[in-house]
Amino acid sequence: MLYWLASLQYVSTKGKKLHTKIGNLFLRLLLIVIITGLIGVFVFNRNTFLLIITVLSAYYGFSGYRVLQTKNNKPKLLDISIAIISLIAVFYFLYYFKSIGMYWSPVIIYSTFGALVMIIVYDFLRYLIPKDTYKNIWLYEHIYKMIGAFTALLSAFSGTVFENYQPYSQFLPSVFGTLLQIGFITYYVRKFKKIKSF
């Protein structure tokens, strides 16, 4: 259901009631998936790859929602705290898994870890962006992060269900998500340029 909602969200008109309702429902379902993913890892000892991908999707979803909520890059304690906690958690997980001899394909671990670090570093650097400039790019950031949250979940799902096809079942959804991000951001950049030209 989460994936159908995300698909409907992509084609719904941005800023309208339907888009907002679907977005809020998506975030609630995302929270449920994150909680069940953590339970699966810690209680039922499921694939520990889920742990890092869960942190990634949770951070993408949280940060993407906060961008829409604030629409500015003024530093806020909540955002900074969640970014630091997410970073510490993933570093700890990597250290812990390495210490117990856990092994993954390098393309998966480095790309997942790198995606989270990259977005957190950006979230700190965005405070340096002039406010007049940021008001023109927050929408693209929102698009990037929400699609990122969806594709991180898709990667966790396909990597777990199609375990025999790893690492392809884990990184191909990320490739798909990247193409979606590029496509939607390009569409809105062109749309707003066309509006300004009139």
In the three-class reduction of DSSP (H, G, I as helix; E, B as strand; rest coil), residue 44 is classed as coil
Percent of the chain predicted with pLDDT > 90: 27
What's the pLDDT score for residue 147?
Answer: 92
| CA diameter of the chain | 61
Ranking 68-72, 103-107, 127-131, 166-170 by mean pLDDT, the lowest is: 103-107
* CA atoms within a 13 Å half-sphere pointing along the CA-CB vector of 189: 10
- Residue 168: which pLDDT band, with cuts at 50, 70 and 90? confident
Residues 6+ apart with CB under 8 A from 195: none
> At residue 103, does pLDDT exceed 60?
no
How far is the C-alpha of 78 from the C-alpha of 62, rounded, in Å?
A: 11
What's the pLDDT score for residue 183?
Answer: 92
3-state helix vs strand vs coil in the chain, percent to 5: 85, 0, 15
Contact call for residues 173 and 154 (beta carbons, < 8 A): yes
Residues 6+ apart with CB under 8 A from 56: 90, 112, 115, 116, 148, 152
What's the pLDDT score for residue 31?
Answer: 83
Most confident of 77-81, 92-96, 189-193: 77-81
How far is the C-alpha of 92 from the C-alpha of 98, rounded, in Å?
A: 10
pLDDT (tens digit per residue) in 113-163: 888 899 999 999 999 999 999 988 999 999 999 999 988 888 877 877 887
Ranking 7-11, 49-53, 86-90, 185-189 by mean pLDDT, the lowest is: 7-11
How far is the C-alpha of 11 from the C-alpha of 150, rounded, in Å?
A: 15
What's the pLDDT score for residue 79?
Answer: 94
